[in-house]
Structure 1
Amino acid sequence: MRLAGRRIIITGAASGIGKATAIIFRREGAAVALLDNQEALL
């Protein structure tokens, strides 16, 4: 998956599927914005 140049917003990014997705998308080159109501865990 090539995501270079893409911008992605992930909600629920502090844990679970959201966190795993953020890690993978970032590893693939996307610019990632993270949102969660548990801000300290981001």
Structure 2
Amino acid sequence: MTSTNDATDLSGHVAVVTGAAAGLGRAEAIGLARAGAT
């Protein structure tokens, strides 16, 4: 079984998150960045 981080490698992908200043948007932006998205 693989962890979620192994299954969602976003290296080289671009993610646009609106509302990333606070709350859920911020948490999503941090998660995407940790997965390798820019």
Q: TM-score, normalised by structure 1?
A: 0.69
More strand as a share of residues: 1
Gaps of 5+ in 2: 1-7
TM-score (norm 2): 0.75
Give the total of aligned pairs.
31
Q: Which has the higher helix share?
A: 2
* Runs of 4+ more than 4 Å apart: none
Q: C-alpha root-mean-square deviation of aligned residues, in Å? A: 0.5
Task: Pick the structure with greater CA Rg.
Answer: 2
Identity within the alignment, %? 45
